[in-house]
Chain A
Amino acid sequence: MDLLLHSLPLLARGTITTVYLSAAAVVLATVLGIVLALLQLYGGIVLRALVEVYLYVVRGVPLLVLLFAMYYALPYANVRIEPVTGGILVIGIYFGAFMTEVFRAAVLSVPKGQWEAARAVGLTTPWILRDVVLAQAVRMAGPPFINTCVMVVKGTSLVAIIGLADVTYVGKQIVERTLAPFEIFGAVALVYFVICFALSRVGRYLEGRVNYAS
Chain B
Amino acid sequence: MSIDFSFLTRVAPILAEGLSTTIWLALPAMLLAALWGVVVVMGLLSRSRPLAAISRSYVEVVRNTPVLVQMFFIFFGSGYAGYPVSGFVAGLLALVLQNGAYAAEIYRGGIRAVTQRLAEAGLALGLTPRRVFRIVVLPLAVRKVIPPLANQGVLIIKDTSLVATISVAELTFHARLLADRTAAVFEIFFTLALFYLALTAVFSGGMRLLERRLRIA
Q: List 13 A-B contacts (CB under 8 A).
A: A60-B154, A60-B158, A62-B160, A68-B176, A76-B185, A78-B1, A154-B64, A168-B72, A181-B72, A181-B73, A188-B69, A192-B65, A196-B63
Residues of B within 8 A of A76 (CB): 1, 183, 185-186
Given contacts A64-B172, A68-B175, contact A192 B69 (CB under 8 A): yes
Report whether B65 and A196 are in contact in the complex, using a CB–CB cutoff of 8 Å: yes
Query: Considering the chains assembled together, what is the distance between the CA atoms of A122 and B192 in angstroms?
Result: 53
Q: Is the interface of A mostly helix, strand, loop or mixed?
A: helix
Q: Is B164 an interface residue (CB 8 A)?
A: yes
Report whether B66 and A157 are in contact in the complex, using a CB–CB cutoff of 8 Å: yes
> Which positions 65-82 of chain B face chain A at CB distance < 8 Å?
65-70, 72-73, 76-77, 79-81
Chain A residue nearest to B192 in the complex (CB):
A65
Q: Is B197 an interface residue (CB 8 A)?
A: yes
1/0 contact string of A172-214 vs chain B (CB within 8 Å): 1001000111100110110011001100100000000000000
1/0 contact string of B37-66 vs chain A (CB within 8 Å): 000000000000000000000001101111
Query: Considering the chains assembled together, what is the distance between the CA atoms of A160 and B185 in angstroms?
Result: 20
Query: Considering the chains assembled together, what is the distance between the CA atoms of A107 and B1 in angstroms?
Result: 42
Q: Is B196 an interface residue (CB 8 A)?
A: yes
Residues of A within 8 A of B123 (CB): none
Query: Considering the chains assembled together, what is the distance between the CA atoms of A192 and B70 in angstroms?
Result: 11
Report whether B69 and A168 are in contact in the complex, using a CB–CB cutoff of 8 Å: yes
Contact of A157 among B68, B80, B160, B179 (CB under 8 A): B68
Q: Is B189 an interface residue (CB 8 A)?
A: yes
Chain B residue nearest to A168 in the complex (CB):
B69
Task: Report the number of A-B residue pairs with Cβ-Cβ less than 8 Å.
Answer: 119
Given contacts A60-B200, A68-B172, contact A154 B65 (CB under 8 A): yes
Report whether A68 and B179 are in contact in the complex, using a CB–CB cutoff of 8 Å: yes
Query: Considering the chains assembled together, what is the distance between the CA atoms of A63 and B164 in angstroms?
Result: 13
Query: Considering the chains assembled together, what is the distance between the CA atoms of A60 and B193 in angstroms?
Result: 8
Chain A residue nearest to B203 in the complex (CB):
A60
Q: Is B99 an interface residue (CB 8 A)?
A: no
Chain A interface residue count, CB cutoff 8 Å, equals 40
Chain B residue nearest to A155 in the complex (CB):
B66
Report whether A186 and B73 are in contact in the complex, using a CB–CB cutoff of 8 Å: yes
Query: Considering the chains assembled together, what is the distance between the CA atoms of A6 and B186 in angstroms?
Result: 43
A residues contacting B by CB (< 8 A) are 56-57, 59-65, 68-69, 72-73, 76-78, 150, 154-155, 157-158, 160-161, 168, 171-172, 175, 179-182, 185-186, 188-189, 192-193, 196-197, 200
Query: Considering the chains assembled together, what is the distance between the CA atoms of A180 and B81 in angstroms?
Result: 10
Given contacts A65-B161, A168-B68, contact A181 B77 (CB under 8 A): yes
Q: Give the contact-size bracket for chain B.
A: 35 or more
Residues of A within 8 A of B183 (CB): 76
Report whether B196 and A160 are in contact in the complex, using a CB–CB cutoff of 8 Å: no
Chain B residue nearest to A64 in the complex (CB):
B161
Report whether B197 and A160 are in contact in the complex, using a CB–CB cutoff of 8 Å: no
Chain B residue nearest to A158 in the complex (CB):
B68
Query: Considering the chains assembled together, what is the distance between the CA atoms of A154 and B189 in angstroms?
Result: 23
Residues of B within 8 A of A62 (CB): 158-162, 172, 196
CB proximity of B59 to chain A, nearest CB, Å: 11
Contact of B61 among A63, A150, A193 (CB under 8 A): A193
Residues of B within 8 A of A68 (CB): 172, 175-176, 179, 189
Q: Is B165 an interface residue (CB 8 A)?
A: yes
Query: Considering the chains assembled together, what is the distance between the CA atoms of A188 and B64 in angstroms?
Result: 12
Report whether A59 and B154 are in contact in the complex, using a CB–CB cutoff of 8 Å: yes
Query: Considering the chains assembled together, what is the distance between the CA atoms of A13 and B112 in angstroms?
Result: 43
Query: Considering the chains assembled together, what is the distance between the CA atoms of A59 and B197 in angstroms?
Result: 8
Residues of B within 8 A of A180 (CB): 80
Contact of B1 among A60, A61, A77 (CB under 8 A): A77
